[in-house]
Amino acid sequence: MIGREALMRKKIIAWSLFLACVLFLSLAATPYSRTADELLITVRLTFIIIISVLVVRERWRDAHDSHPTATSANTTDVGTTFLNRFRRWYHGE
């Protein structure tokens, strides 16, 4: 069963996301809409670039690591850890 603190934290996160979305949508009705658009596009493209670089790096390492050893299988770095956490979050694991 989910604890009371965990449930409260989920509600706070959900409300924060909702209010952030309302804020971003309300920026379209202000003189700052172009600036907000550029900022959101920049953030999105930056996120896509970072994820793409990490994925390409992992595929490159997997393709060139034809003889995995016990030490290379156990070594993880920040990029690998981030991709694994992102994959688990995306698939709800």
The domain spans of the chain are 1-30, 33-93
State mean pLDDT over 58-84.
67
The more confident residue out of 72 and 64 is 64
Instruction: Tell me what pLDDT residue 66 has.
Output: 62
- What is the rounded CA–CA span in Å between residue 48 and residue 68? 29
Phi-psi region of 74 (alpha: psi -120 to 50; beta: other; left: phi over 0): alpha
Distances (CA, A) of 31 to 23, 34, 36: 14, 7, 10
Instruction: Tell me what pLDDT residue 46 has.
Output: 95
How much is the mean pLDDT over the chain?
Answer: 80
Is the full-model pTM beyond 0.85? no
